Structure 1
Amino acid sequence: MQEFSQVRWGILGAARIADGAVIPGMMKSRHATAQAIGARDLTRAQDMADRHGIARAYDSYDAVLADPQVEAVYIALPNHLHVEWARRAADAGKHVLIEKPGAMRAADYTALDGIDPALRISEAFMVRQQPRWIRLREILRQGHYGAPMTFSSLLSFMMTNDGDFRQRPEWGGGAYYDLGCYTAMAARYVFDGEPQRVLAVMDRNGAGIDMFTSVIMDFGAGRQASFMVSLAQASSQSIQIVCERGFITLPQAYVPSRSQPNLILIDTSADHANSRITTLEFPALDQYEEEVTNFSRVIRGDAEAPYFDLADARANAAVCDAVFASAASGGWASVKGA
């Protein structure tokens, strides 16, 4: 890996994801450093700055964008504010890493039309920065086990905090925005393309958010993905891929171990009564450190660093639109632009 000067980051918002995951990853990365943090509550911003050794704390997001020492920003705000502040950051000349989902609707991304093409903007799906996921895509593209035909995934946890922003539909609450955006992205990543249509069922609570969503994605040519996400079930996280000549499993698919090796299991047996499993091991890692490191490398012009641009973010949002449309109609919904 090439060496570059550290990218100086600013953080918009004092959310738990920033405090517990992204900033610690940033401070461990040799390619990044946290320069400033802004929140509506200066005390909260200052406490977080002191805890992580961040140089400056501000009482507004605009102050971070005005800081000449900040080159890139990480947006850790509620979902409905992501695009607005991504635009403001781009207008201030900053590169932008937007916490997922980057937008609640595909049409929201029109707010980012016309930004400086020299700026790097990406949706923060840290999972696809794992060396394991990168190797998975290489395996699938090389066709070692034939074409992937079926993808299935479970992703869930039990949400117990009634004050969580994920309980608010107007802020982009619910299982699909929080978890389904991951599983849809993962299916697109595995098939290396876009679904043509989706069929979805949602179970909503009294507040109007989906607590359980089940989706089928049709990629054409016999290729299908199915996944379930929930905020009201025990913790689960799995990915299974059936290729023409191999069955691939990713244990702990979305939140890998930070202390034990992470695995890809490949079963090439043609007989249900037997198994022929190859195990690929990857070192324990902090995937948020990988995410910030790789995006910093992209900013510094490293062409070998994985990068997913706004076109990818728009495509994932188009799937989201179709999922909600299908859940409303009870039938299949086409994915626009597919």
Structure 2
Amino acid sequence: MAGQTKTIRWGILSTARIGVEKFIPAIGRSQTGTTVAIASRGLERAKAAAADLGIPKAYGSYEELLADPDIDAIYNPLPNHLHVPLTIQAVEAGKHVLCEKPVALNAEEARQLLTLPKDRLVAEGFMVRAHPQWIRAREIVRSGELGELRAIQSFFSYYNADPGNIRNMADIGGGALLDIGCYPMVAARYFFEAEPSRALSMIDRDPVMKTDRLSSGILDFGEGRRLDFTVSTQMVPYQRVNLYGTKKRLEIVIPFNAPQQQETVIRLDDGSILGDGAVISETIAPSDQYAELVDTFGRSILGDIKLPYGPEDAVQNMAILDALFASEKTDGWAAIG
């Protein structure tokens, strides 16, 4: 690692809101990282962000930041169509890269990441898998307390009809499936600890922006196991994950945007009293899932642990999304490959 330091020195590509509000503060709360530089396409924006966040260096181009020898790892929260190109540039500059989801626009583009030098780590930034509430929920699944896990249901929505927002620009990877549909499918892969073989979708597109604004899908995990989910960019904000077993149900109340440094809750229900009358709640201690992700990636760079999810995992995520879009075109099941 550059400089043989025990602290991972992070460079941030862009002044994107998720980086400024979530990721950079989380680096400061992590045990392994420090933010040393931030870049924007405009130097003044970079300088302003650096001043606000106490970051030592500011760059007016991404290339300048990537050329900085004092940076070990890059966080890439750029618009979706720039994820793969800038990740490749960063790795070629000798940096490790944690890239925001979705890692690419499709699986074919994502497969470019598989050809990069293996001495640089690349991962897709699903912070949810680092949160203690997800880890605890999977412990319960593995214990058999739910019985056989048969079905997972998820809903995730927010309202954003601004045509100037990158989430609503179809040509650069906007829309519900790419932005938030990836979360339910990652949840199902995580809790089933298996891969789906086929996908079925129902998609409603905005007539003007052409992005999918309301998308539902089913993923077939075989052996009678399935995920069904709905995501939307133009509905009341809501999110939930329910895991249904043969004995009990487990509910993650705020599964995706868990509040940083606050308690969260999971609920167990054996169904003995309808209307949630038998629900038992378990409180998860305050945590910052972004800081947990920073430390997971940082410890992987340092060689303390093996990287849990690398480029292969990111390619699989894109293959599932590709199948959901393929199902929209054929109005039927699409194989995942």
The alpha carbon displacement at 1:268 in A equals 2.4
201 and 274 in structure 1: CA distance in 2 versus 1, 3 angstrom threshold: closer
Matching residue of 1:183: 184
Q: How far apart, CA to CA, are the structure 2 residues paired with 1:134 and 1:266?
A: 15
Matching residue of 1:321: 322
- The alignment status of 1:246 with 2:248, answered yes or no, reads yes
Q: How far apart, CA to CA, are the structure 2 residues paired with 1:273 and 1:73?
A: 47
| Deviation larger for 267-276 or 177-186 | 267-276
Alignment of 1:1-338 (within 5 A): 5-205=6-206, 206-258=208-260, 260-270=262-272, 272=274, 275-303=277-305, 307-336=308-337
Q: How far apart, CA to CA, are the structure 1 residues paired with 2:71 and 2:260?
A: 29
8 Å Cα contact 1:256-1:284 kept in structure 2: no
SS of alignment partner, residue 184 of structure 1: helix
Aligned partner letter, 1:285: S
Q: How far apart, CA to CA, are the structure 1 residues paired with 2:261 and 2:132?
A: 15
SS of alignment partner, residue 288 of structure 1: helix
Aligned partner letter, 1:30: Q
8 Å Cα contact 1:84-1:111 kept in structure 2: no
Q: Deviations over 1:20-79 (max 9, x none)?
A: 111111122231101111111111111111111111111111111110100000001100
8 Å Cα contact 2:114-2:311 kept in structure 1: no
Aligned partner letter, 1:25: A
8 Å Cα contact 1:73-1:95 kept in structure 2: yes
Q: How far apart, CA to CA, are the structure 1 residues paired with 2:42 and 2:234?
A: 31
8 Å Cα contact 2:163-2:169 kept in structure 1: no
8 Å Cα contact 1:214-1:226 kept in structure 2: yes
Q: How far apart, CA to CA, are the structure 2 residues paired with 1:240 and 1:310?
A: 28
The alpha carbon displacement at 1:272 in A equals 4.2
225 and 16 in structure 1: CA distance in 2 versus 1, 3 angstrom threshold: same
Runs of 5+ in structure 2 lacking a partner? none
Q: How far apart, CA to CA, are the structure 2 residues paired with 1:238 and 1:273?
A: 17
Q: How far apart, CA to CA, are the structure 1 residues paired with 2:231 and 2:224?
A: 23
Structure 2 length as normaliser, TM-score?
0.94
111 and 142 in structure 1: CA distance in 2 versus 1, 3 angstrom threshold: same
The alpha carbon displacement at 1:308 in A equals 1.1
Q: How far apart, CA to CA, are the structure 1 residues paired with 2:173 and 2:56?
A: 32
8 Å Cα contact 1:41-1:59 kept in structure 2: yes
Q: How far apart, CA to CA, are the structure 1 residues paired with 2:18 and 2:232?
A: 19
SS of alignment partner, residue 293 of structure 1: helix
Aligned partner letter, 2:166: F
8 Å Cα contact 2:204-2:215 kept in structure 1: yes
8 Å Cα contact 1:268-1:275 kept in structure 2: no
The alpha carbon displacement at 1:270 in A equals 4.8
8 Å Cα contact 2:146-2:244 kept in structure 1: no
Aligned partner letter, 1:27: G
8 Å Cα contact 1:73-1:94 kept in structure 2: yes
Aligned partner letter, 1:22: F
SS of alignment partner, residue 209 of structure 2: coil
Q: Deviations over 1:115-158 (max 9, x none)?
A: 22122111001111101111222222232322210000010001
Q: How far apart, CA to CA, are the structure 2 residues paired with 1:230 and 1:296?
A: 33
Aligned partner letter, 2:53: H
Q: How far apart, CA to CA, are the structure 1 residues paired with 2:177 and 2:110?
A: 18
Q: How far apart, CA to CA, are the structure 2 residues paired with 1:260 and 1:71?
A: 30
Aligned partner letter, 1:110: R
The alpha carbon displacement at 1:110 in A equals 2.6
8 Å Cα contact 2:102-2:124 kept in structure 1: yes
The alpha carbon displacement at 1:247 in A equals 0.5
272 and 306 in structure 1: CA distance in 2 versus 1, 3 angstrom threshold: farther
